[in-house]
């Protein structure tokens, strides 16, 4: 019975030893292995076996990117202003062996190194430049820390200034300055707005005057066109009236000519008109210079009329004789 119990205990211990010799390394981790106190190997992801009692796991290293937020550090600027700055460092372990054997406390080493580097950078800058040059400070710190931590198997990816806190008096002065600056910008914007408004009003008046002038010009042109049309119509009417008078005169002359009226008839008509003018009503009588010619013309007309009467009587007698003969 005692022998069986011994073998059971022995087997259990053997299984425990064998189980402790099997190590599974997860993703994004690494194991630093030592043999008899000296560095043996670095295990990556997977299943590994170690020699019991001779080899041991010195350190399990996280290979993922890590973030460390350091507390605020007092820093003095070039113009002797003490400000508080806290930083955030993003780093990643690239060499587990150097990380395990390079420095005793890597995080504390990075914190102290970031504080000294920050003091060196801020010491060359004034307060205003410090407040407006975060990106420059971040770049300089990252380059300095990355170079210093290479021998520790650490790569610094980014360094960010989380807060920059000047003294309370400086903050009050900055707030007053910002308030004055905002008021100045407000005054400038108001002045610019009033200026633009005045310009727009002047432009509107200018455009209105131009439009009024254009309208007056168009109205004058239309009035001139109307006057021109009216004068043309009046001229055409007068021309048409003259044409009609001339046509009527020509028609009268043509009718007189067809009726066989000669100068003798016209002269006789003139005498008749002269007789009417001399009927005793007129106070003045104008005697034509050719009155003698008119008298001779009247005698000739009388002879012509008598001759025509004689010829007419003779023709009537012949007609009567002819009728009696029949």
Q: Tokens 């198997």 belong to which residue?
A: 153
Q: Residue 118: exposed, middle, or buried by beta-carbon count in 10 A (0-12, 13-18, 19+)? A: buried
Residue 93 phi, psi (nearest 5): -85, 120
Q: What is the pLDDT of residues 60-95, one digit of tens each?
A: 999 999 999 998 989 988 888 888 998 999 999 999
CA atoms within 13 A on the CB side of 134: 13
Count other C-beta atoms under 10 Å from residue 215's C-beta: 10
CA dist 41 and 33 (Å) reads 5
Token reading at 94 = 């690239």
CA dist 317 and 321 (Å) reads 6
Q: What angle do CA 164, 167, 173 make, to 5 degrees?
A: 100
The residue-averaged pLDDT of 165-189 equals 85
The pLDDT of residue 306 is above 60: no
Separation in Å, CA 292 to CA 24, 110, 261, 295? 168, 156, 21, 5
The pLDDT of residue 263 is above 60: no
Q: Which CATH class is domain 66-166?
A: alpha beta
Domain parsing of the chain, residue ranges: 21-61, 66-166, 168-259, 264-275+289-321
The pLDDT of residue 41 is above 80: yes
In terms of C-beta distances under 8 Å and separation of at least 24 residues, what long-range contacts does 268-273 make, across chains too? 268/297, 268/298, 268/301, 270/294, 271/298
Q: What is the pLDDT of residues 203-242, one digit of tens each?
A: 888 888 888 888 888 888 988 888 888 888 888 888 888 7
**Residue 3's pLDDT is what?**
78
Residue 156 parent element (H or E): strand 154-165
- Give strand pairing partners of 303: none
Token reading at 305 = 């009329």
Separation in Å, CA 94 to CA 32, 61, 142, 234, 275? 13, 10, 16, 110, 152
């Amino acid at each position: 019975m005692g022998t069986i119990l011994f073998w059971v205990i022995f087997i259990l211990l053997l299984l425990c030893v064998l189980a402790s010799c099997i190590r599974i390394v997860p993703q994004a981790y690494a194991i630093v292995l030592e043999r008899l106190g000296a560095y043996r190997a670095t295990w990556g992801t997977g299943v590994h076996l170690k020699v019991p009692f001779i080899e041991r796991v010195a350190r399990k290293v996280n290979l993922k990117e890590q973030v460390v937020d350091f507390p605020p550090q007092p820093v003095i600027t070039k113009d002797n202003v003490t400000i508080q700055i806290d930083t955030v460092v993003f780093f990643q372990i690239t060499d587990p062996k150097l990380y395990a054997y390079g420095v005793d406390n890597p995080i504390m080493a990075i914190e102290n190194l970031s504080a000294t580097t920050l003091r060196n950078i801020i010491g060359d800058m004034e307060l205003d430049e410090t407040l407006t040059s975060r990106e420059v400070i971040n770049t300089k710190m990252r380059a300095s820390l990355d170079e210093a931590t290479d021998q520790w198997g650490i790569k610094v990816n980014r360094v960010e200034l989380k807060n920059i806190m000047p003294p309370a008096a400086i903050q009050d002065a900055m707030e007053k300055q910002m308030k004055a600056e905002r008021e100045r910008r407000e005054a400038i914007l108001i002045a610019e707005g009033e200026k633009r408004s005045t310009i727009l009003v002047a432009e509107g008046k200018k455009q209105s005057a131009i439009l009024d002038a254009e309208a007056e010009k168009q109205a004058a042109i239309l009035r001139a066109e109307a006057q021109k049309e009216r004068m043309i119509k009046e001229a055409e009417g007068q021309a048409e009236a003259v044409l009609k008078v001339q046509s009527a005169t020509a028609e009268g002359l043509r009718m007189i000519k067809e009726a066989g009226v000669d100068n003798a008839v016209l002269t006789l008509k003139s005498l008749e008109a002269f007789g009417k003018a001399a009927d005793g009503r007129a106070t003045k009588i104008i005697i034509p210079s050719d009155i003698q010619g008119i008298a001779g013309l009247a005698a000739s007309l009388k002879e012509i009329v008598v001759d025509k009467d004689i010829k007419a009587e003779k023709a009537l007698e012949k007609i009567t004789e002819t009728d009696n003969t029949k």
